[in-house]
Amino acid sequence: MAALADDPEMPGVGFTEAFAFHDVGELDSHARIIRDGLDVFARNWGFRSETFTPPAQTLHPSLFDVAGSAGVLAIDKPFRCTRPMGNGTSRREFNCSGRQSGQGHVTVVRNVVFEPASERGYEPVAHAVQQVSAAFRWRRPAIISSHRVNFCGHLSESHRKNSLSALRALLSDIVQRWPDAEFVSVDHLVREMDCSA
């Protein structure tokens, strides 16, 4: 909650970044939170999560193995980011989907944006179809990024209706253009990506 008060002792720690930090000494508590969260998930759902998306896609690299030791096979990462390393330092990072050298997990990078409830200056279905086409042209899976706010009606019923209509149009367009397209869970995709590496 330091970011709410704009705490000068914790520069660069944003409100939505649950695993953002300033001092590397904070990473021990992050590790406990990750293990506990994954255990709570397993107790509630009856199986261990094989994928992990850090809030705001912010996670120190030392915590990747913590998630892995709790059963996570894949971590969702942004295509490019500036990753905080602690004590005011950071490193630029470029990611691609698949198993990366020296990492014990599969990296998942979303390459299609579908956010129909937010005004982004373009038509969401056509834009997503263009990105799906580019992914398929490069012989890559199309990994669609979308958030639940697009489909929840408690903030705006019209956003929900419009977003569901746009989703139907997107799925229909994909099936028409690529009849062999398969829609799979990210867990299934990760196993496929890992086997083909």
pLDDT digits (tens, 9 = 90+) for 144-154: 999 888 888 88
Q: Sorting pLDDT into bands at 50, 70 and 90, what band is 3?
A: very low
124, two tokens: 């969401």
Same domain, 9 and 41: yes
Q: What is the pLDDT of residue 159?
A: 86
Same domain, 119 and 99: no
By the 8 A CB rule, do 12 and 20 touch? yes
Same domain, 18 and 80: yes
Q: Sorting pLDDT into bands at 50, 70 and 90, what band is 1?
A: very low
Same domain, 100 and 167: no
pTM for this prediction: 0.81
Same domain, 40 and 98: yes
By the 8 A CB rule, do 90 and 123 touch? no
Same domain, 96 and 122: no
Q: Where a domain ends, among 76, 107, 138?
A: 107
Instruction: Give residue 149's domain range.
Output: 112-196
Same domain, 9 and 63: yes
Number of domains in the chain: 2
